[in-house]
Amino acid sequence: MKRVFSGIQPTGHVTLGNYLGAMRRWAEVDQHRADALFCIVDLHALTVDHDPARVRRLSRQAATLLLAAGLDPELCTLYVQSHVDEHTRLSYLLECVASDGEMRRMIQYKEKSARQRERGGSVRLSLLTYPVLMAADILAYGTDEVPVGDDQVQHVELARDLAVRFNQRYGHTFVVPEATLPGVAARVMNLQDPTSKMGKSDSGQGVVYLLDEPDAVRKKIMRAVTDSGQEVGYDPVERPGVANLLEILAACTGGNPESLADVHDSYGSLKKDTAEAVVEVLRPVQARHRELCADPAYVEGVLRDGAEKARALARPTVDTAYRAIGLLPPV
Ligand code: TYM
């Protein structure tokens, strides 16, 4: 059976982009066809300015939402990254095969560090080494496939490069992983600025959160920026706002963006259908989330068992890497 690994950062409230780009597939497809691990990557949330209490709260919330979205602890392993030391143990070894130039070329590093500097802040060293920790997350588990949205592809490619380089230098240790993307909605765009990704840390009306009330979802989608055209057509380059709505609608209804464009004769009707489709997709997730919030002990139990399973899976690979790279076994 294939091994699948993926993760989500507790840096903000979970968005429709996270759901359509990644989480929904984890629940509907990956956990059923593979030996799958899903991780709340809380260490990654410390790479930018953070409030400790908020990270803790968002970590619990992400776990609860993942279960609400359909992850089943009988089928997959769900846990918190900081509960399994193997991630940081392996990350250091991978820092010893990665180069600083490689890190500086990462798009997310360039974007996030520029934003941080614009605000007059300093850039945490961990933001630069972030992709190495992410590679460790993936490689520690002998992962074959990493289901992610489009924005994470460069990071998964780095994990591949590091795996190949380590294997060449020190002997075969790691499986070389591959990113898998959804057919539609691999990059859900901000509704107010459809040339940039809908991100957890964006603020305002451009982001639909998984826990938004139906009326808030409707309002945000009805106010989405489109263009001055009239006819509905799918053209992500020239008409990114309309294309984004078509992709969201396609992802929610199982259709495809081009043929959905043909059946809408105005932006108004496209927005209305998209809003209702999103509300319907979120409804069962939100209902299950309410139930799970009433049972925090269940969620804690899932995370405890998950961490135990994950530790047992990661330890042999990480120990092998320690020996391969030249570290003396403990006596
Ligand atoms: P994160 O927390 O930003 O996002 C979690 C998942 O959601 C996807 N995603 C999107 N997909 C479509 N449209 C969007 N607007 C959108 N926004 C986010 C992301 O691609 C991701 O799949 N670095 C990762 C977390 C991570 C990880 C890992 C992932 C750490 N270690 C190991 C996989 C394997 C991140 O920041 O995801």
- Model ipTM value: 0.99
Which of 48, 88, 108, 148 for mutating ligand 1's site (highest number of atoms within 8 Å of CB)?
Answer: 148
127 close to 47: Cβ distance less than 8 angstroms: yes
Does 248 sit in the ligand 1 pocket, CB within 6 Å? no
Output the pLDDT for position 170. Answer: 98
pLDDT at 238 over 90: yes
The reply to whether 194 falls in a domain is no
In this prediction the pTM is: 0.97
**pLDDT attached to residue 103:** 97
- 39 plus 143 within the same structural domain: yes
Query: Do 67 and 146 sit in the same domain of this protein?
Result: yes
Q: How confident is the model at residue 16, as a pLDDT?
A: 98
Q: Is residue 22 part of a domain?
A: yes
In a domain, 204, yes or no: no
In a domain, 193, yes or no: no
Task: Please report whether residue 135 resides in a domain.
Answer: yes
CB distance 190 to ligand 1 below 6 Å = no
Mean pLDDT of all residues in 212-224 = 98
Mean pLDDT of 101-130: 94
27-31 own/partner pairs: CB under 8 Å, 24+ apart: 27/66, 27/69, 27/70, 27/71, 27/72, 28/70, 29/147, 30/4, 30/6, 30/76, 30/145, 30/147, 31/71, 31/72, 31/75, 31/76
Evaluate whether residue 202 is within a structural domain: no
Mean pLDDT of 284-306: 97
**Is 185 inside any structural domain?**
no
Establish if 190 belongs to a structural domain. Answer: no
Residue 160 confidence (pLDDT): 98
Both tokens of 64, joined, read 């609860």
- pLDDT band at residue 230 using 50, 70 and 90 as cut-offs: confident
pLDDT (tens digit per residue) in 1-44: 999 999 999 999 999 999 999 999 999 999 999 999 999 999 99
Predicted confidence band of residue 307 (pLDDT cuts 50, 70, 90):
very high
Q: Which of 4, 8, 126, 184 to mutate to test the pocket of ligand 1 (most atoms within 8 A of CB)?
A: 8
My answer on whether 262 and 236 are in the same domain is: yes
pLDDT at 34: 98
173 and 223 both lie in a single domain: no
How many domains does the chain divide into?
A: 2
Q: Encoding tokens for residue 36?
A: 């799958």
- Together in a domain, 309 and 263: no
Q: Which amino acid is at 240?
A: P
Does one domain contain both 108 and 239? no
Between CA 174 and CA 325 the distance in angstroms is 12
Structural domain of 249: 214-290
Q: What is the pLDDT of residue 229?
A: 84
Per-state percent for the chain, helix, strand, coil, to nearest 5: 60, 10, 35
Predicted confidence band at 124 (pLDDT cuts at 50, 70, 90)?
A: very high
